[in-house]
Amino acid sequence: NQKGGVGKTTTAINLATALAAIGERVLIVDLDPQGNASTGLGIDRRDRTVSSYDVLTGQLDLEAAAMPTAVPGLSIVPSTLDLLGIE
């Protein structure tokens, strides 16, 4: 869904955190060039040395691009502005 301001990112973060809290292993893949899910989970832009861009272009596999978050059991493949160049 491309509609802005309807809570997609907030819902994804909250659902992922809730699932991790009950013991599930969760992976969020941030595919938004703005990287709001990454920022929302505390991943600083300077720490995003790998991103979903690297996965989509075949440079890395999903597991190699995943980063742990402060929430135990919750990882994220962060996003960068590089995604603007992918069609």
Give the model confidence (pLDDT) of 9-45 as tens digits. 999 999 999 999 999 999 999 999 999 999 999 999 9
Comparing CA positions, the residue from 70, 35, 71, 72 lying closest to residue 50 is: 35
25: Cβ contacts below 8 Å, ≥ 6 apart: 73, 75
The pair of structure tokens assigned to 76 is 């994220």
Split at pLDDT 50, 70, 90, the class of 84 is very high
CB 66 within 8 A of CB 41: no
Per DSSP, the chain holds a count of helices (H) and strands (E) of: 4, 3
Q: Phi and psi (nearest 5°) for 46?
A: -65, -20
Please state the pTM of the whole predicted model: 0.89
